[in-house]
């Protein structure tokens, strides 16, 4: 018999109301709680609790507090990733964040997609869709990245955008739903 965890990992419909999945979420909650309550001096690099939780903690990464993730075991970081305060990653599927990417404060990265049938939704039926964020991406404050989205390298997601579709390499997207900026990116700031 196939477990709910196996269904989730295979990208099939599964019930999130499952003892094994609840146990995995509790491991993540404990690690996140430990991370979020460390003194600032112990958070200048990726904390030990998150290093032990993430599938790939990367190197020279920083995750500000508060931080929340649902499993942690599906999060893969490249090198020098910066995740600002208030970030939520609901990683029921793999989440890959590329080298040098900066995630703004209050960003949500979501993998869980709930069933459209209300009875199945009440029963906890959902599907997990991976999110991939390339290298050197900048995701502005308060943006939401929806399940199944790929944001290619060097793209910019404007603050407050809701990303429902893939974003091309180097593109700048803004708005709800996020759409490419016509005629180039936002104004540059001279040093």
| Catalytic residue positions, numbered | 114
Question: For residues 77 and 61, what is the distance between their CA atoms, to the nearest angstrom?
Answer: 8
Residue for token digits 């209300």? 118
Contacts of 23 (CB under 8 A, 6+ apart): none
Contacts of 147 (CB under 8 A, 6+ apart): 93, 110, 111, 112, 113, 127, 128, 129, 131
Of 88, 75, 93, the residue nearest 21 (C-alpha): 93
Contacts of 72 (CB under 8 A, 6+ apart): 27, 28, 31, 32, 50, 53, 54, 55, 91
Question: For residues 91 and 74, what is the distance between their CA atoms, to the nearest angstrom?
Answer: 6
Of 183, 181, 128, 130, the residue nearest 156 (C-alpha): 181
């Amino acid at each position: 018999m196939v477990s709910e965890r196996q269904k989730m990992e295979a990208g099939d419909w599964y019930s999130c109301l499952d003892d094994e999945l609840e146990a995995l979420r509790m491991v993540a909650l404990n690690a996140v709680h430990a991370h979020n309550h460390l003194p600032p001096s112990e958070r200048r690099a990726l904390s030990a609790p998150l290093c032990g939780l993430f599938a790939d903690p990367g190197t020279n990464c920083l995750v500000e507090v508060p931080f929340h993730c649902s499993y942690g075991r599906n999060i893969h970081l490249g090198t020098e990733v910066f995740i600002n305060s208030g970030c939520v990653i609901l990683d029921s599927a793999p989440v890959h964040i590329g080298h040098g990417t900066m995630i703004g404060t209050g960003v949500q990265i979501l993998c869980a997609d709930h069933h459209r049938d209300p009875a199945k939704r009440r029963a906890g039926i959902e599907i997990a869709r991976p999110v991939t964020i390339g290298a050197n991406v900048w995701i502005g404050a308060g943006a939401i990245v929806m399940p199944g989205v790929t944001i290619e390298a060097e793209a910019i997601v404007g603050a407050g955008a809701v990303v429902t579709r893939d974003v091309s390499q180097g593109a700048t997207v803004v708005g709800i739903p996020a759409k490419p900026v016509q005629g180039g990116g936002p104004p540059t700031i001279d040093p």
